[in-house]
Structure formats: C-alpha cells, structure tokens
Structure 1
Amino acid sequence: MLKHQIQLTKLVKTHLRYFGSSQSRTQSFKKWYQQLWTTERTNLPPYEHFTQVGDPVLRQVAAAVPLEHVKSPEIEAVIQQMVKVLRKFDCVGIAAPQIGVSLRIIAMEFKKDIKRDLPQATFEARKMSELPLTVLINPELTITNYTKHKHPEGCMSVRGFSAEVERYEGVKLTGLDKLGTRNELELSGWNARIAQHEMDHLDGKLYIDHMDRSTFMCTCWETVNTKSGRVEIPFYK
C-alpha cells in the first residue's frame, strides 16, 4: 500500500501542471485528488477500539508469541491495552487481533456485577459464573465435555448483531501468563463459551462462521423502529 501511495504521489506531482492555470487551483486539485486514495494513518495498533469484521487481521491465523519475547515490554504493552479495551467496553473477553495485533493472546473476565444486569433465569440457564481476569499467551484448548448448548452470542468485532451459537459445555485451557508461567484452567458453562469464542479469534474465525443463520439479528432492531431509524451504533467509548 505504501509503495502504491508513493507512486501515486509522484504521478500527481508530475502531472499537476496539466490541471488548472493558477497555484490555488493546483493546490485545490492536489488536496482533492489525494483524498481519493490516501488515509492518513494517525492511529496504529494496538488500538483502543475493537477491529471490525472486514479487517483482514480478524481472518488471519495469529502468530504464536516467541518464548523469548513473552516477558518483553512489547508484549506487556499489548496485554495492558487488551485489558484496558476489555474493561472500557464492559466485555467478558478479548483476543489480540481485536486490537489489531495478530498474536496468540487472549484475556477473559466475567465480573460478578454482570449478574445484576441480567434476569436470574438467564444467568442460571446460561450457567454463568464469576471469572477473575485471566490472560493467556499461546493458549491451547481441549474439550472436556462434548455436550453442546445453544445460546445467543455477540462480538464486539461484529458490533450491533447477535445470533445463537452452539458451544461445548466444558473445556480446558493451558497457556502462559505474562511472567511466562504455565497455567491450566478448567472452564464450564458460559466461561467455557467465552474461551471458545476467543480461541476462534486466534484462528481467524468469528461466531458468524458457526451461528444458526436463522437467528442472526440486529440487537437494536426494536429501537430502530421506535426511533424511525434514527439510531447509531457506536464503535468508540
């Protein structure tokens, strides 16, 4: 992309003399023409927002973090940003590709406060439980309970939509923490779902690849009708 931009810049400079007879018209054309094909990159990963479906980083198989870099300042910075974004958007899970970094790192956290925002019946039906902040580098997942459950699932990288997805009842996660210590975690119910969702991100997959397509919906469709379509889905917070 940079090579193409440089070539186009040279092309514009070479041929500007053919457009307009005054300096002001020349500058005006140059500014207008450059806006057609350049986007000033003032924001680079790791982002403070969630990447959205369509971004190639979400479809790549993320690279493993080399063992000699697990405790590096660079990886620490990525993890800090992941946790910051996770909490800023009040989420329960995040993978490094979701902030534009194609590395095999996930973070999960299910706060007990979430229980207050959900009906008790929903909390129990989805087998939700508190999960302290957990960060794993180069995680591996093993299925421990092959029973499947279908529940609504959303993703901050597919903002504003949800669908029902089948996930396994129980899984085991193994991986390294930011100090390089190997951890093993047994998860069940909703926390097992979070783990499977985030592991999918590391393999370039999204929940829409597994969903029951007939249940795919806009999460604010009722508000869209009530507000005569005057609804915005924010990608920032």
Structure 2
Amino acid sequence: MEFRLRPLSSAPPTPLTAQDIRELVEQILGIDALPPIVQAGHPVLRQHAAPYDGQLDDSTLLRLIEVMRRTMHDAPGVGLAAPQIGIPLQLAVLEDQFDVDPAASAARERAPLDFFAMLNPVYAPAGSETASFYEGCLSIRGYQAVVTRHRKVALDYVRPDGSSAHAELSGWQARIAQHETDHLHGALYLDRAETRSLACNEEYSARWAQPGTGQARAELGFPAG
C-alpha cells in the first residue's frame, strides 16, 4: 500500500501584518546577541507563516539569514526556520556538515549539505519510498522520536535573490527539507512521529542511537513506517 504522511491539522495564519513582521525583524537584528530559539507551546510555531513577498528589503533579508545561520550553528543544528526565532515568515536555512558515525551515516543516507536559504518552499514526494529514523528539533529541546518521511522529495523554493530553484533531495537531506518546510506551515515533527518512540536525549543516547530503529520498535512497541 502506498504510504501517505500522517495528515496534519490546519494551522491558522499568522495574525501579524507585513509591518509587524518588519518591526519584529528589526528588533531581533538590533540586539547584540543571537536570538533565543522559541520552544513548543509558543503560538508562532503553530501558525502558518506568511509567504515571503518582499516584506523585507534585500539588505535586511540577508542580515536576517546570516543571523539565522549563526543561530543554527550555535544551537547546534542542521536547519532553522524563521518561526523558531519568533518570525512568522516562510524562510528557513539548512546546512549539514557534521562528522557522524559512518555506519549511521550510511544507514540514514546522510551526505553533507551545503548551506542554503529557502523562501516559500514546497516539497512533493519523488517516488513512494519512505524512511523512518529518530529525529529531534531545536524547538522541542531534550527529546527525539521516530518520524517516517518520504525518502526522496522534489523541493521548489525561492532563493534570497528572488530566483526560482528546484532540488531533488534524498535521504537525510530530504528529511531536513521536509522538517523545516513543515515548520513554516505550523507543524512540528511530533505531529508526524510515532509517539511510543518518544525518548529523552539521555535514553536515546543510551539505548536507541543505532543506525536503524529495529531495536527501538521491538522494545517500545511502535510499528515500522
């Protein structure tokens, strides 16, 4: 049977106007520190972010992207969506240059991902294959859970310079793109997760950090994706 992602509840649109968003961005850019990453329970994470349509001038947009990149590195993480720093705008940054265990890297198809920023991203499955792995989020600090996602996706987005872009992604790169795009639509990874797999970071590291999820499935009692 063809796999379909677990349906998500519709998220309400952000109530902020373009002017509100500009003022919020200027406030964040005006502080002499990296912005905090908001945590689950903050309403911005449960709102459909505003599509980017020129709310920021080019210079401000690039400054915001650089702050998001630094915040992602500092966390550290492999992706960060604007709502995660409180800005309800369809913008995310992605980069994965972590040196991970070769066995885990092979099992998860985790290849290095060069930095890029995407505006108004949309993804679609490229084929019917899926993959299930533990996944975490900078906005749900301290926990991980197994999420089944499309193994390959076609990603369309707008670059910061306004040009259209298309990418065919697979493995962990596809997972990152799906995770960050979901953020922009008011969804968290827990909405798609096998909740019986939920583990705090300490238990995950001690018990479930193998390349695959077979042992966790057997002992925690959740189905294969």
Structure 1 and Structure 2 fold alike (TM over 0.5): yes
What is the deviation of 1:167? 0.5
Counterpart of 2:122, as a letter, is: E
- With over 3 angstroms needed to count, the CA separation of the structure-2 counterparts of 1:222 and 1:209, relative to structure 1, is closer
Greater C-alpha Rg: 1
Aligned partner of 1:228 in structure 2 is: none
How far 1:194 sits from its partner (Å)? Answer: 0.4
Which amino acid is 1:58 matched to?
Answer: L
Counterpart of 2:48, as a letter, is V
SS in 2 for 1:187: strand
The letter of the residue matching 1:65 is: Y
**Counterpart in the other structure of 1:141:** 123
Letter in structure 2 aligned against 1:98: Q
Q: Is 1:196 aligned to residue 178 of structure 2?
A: yes
Aligned to 1:88: 74
Q: Amino acid of the residue matched to residue 133 of structure 1?
A: F
Question: For the Cα contact (< 8 Å) 1:93–1:108, is it kept in 2?
Answer: yes
CA distance in structure 2 between the aligned counterparts of 1:197 and 1:186, rounded to whole angstroms: 15
Q: Give the match's secondary structure for 2:134.
A: strand
Is 1:102 paired with 2:84? no
Unaligned ranges ≥5, structure 1: 1-43, 225-237
Look up the equivalent residue of 2:43 and give its one-letter code: P
Find the aligned partners of 2:108 and 2:205 in 1 and give their Cα distance.
Answer: 25
Query: For 1:136 and 1:223, how far apart are their aligned partners in 2?
Result: 31
Tell me the TM-score normalised to structure 1 length.
0.69
Change (3 A) 1:121 1:77: same
Matched-pair contact (CA < 8 Å) for 1:45–1:101: no
Q: Percent identity?
A: 34
Deviation string 1:212-235 (CA, Å, 9 cap, x unpaired) is 1111011124899xxxxxxxxxxx
The equivalent residue for 2:143 is 161
TM-score by length of 2: 0.73
Residues 1:83 and 1:222: Cα distance change in structure 2 (over 3 Å): closer
Do structure 1's residue 57 and structure 2's residue 39 form an aligned pair?
Answer: no
CA distance in 1, matches of 2:76, 2:39: 17
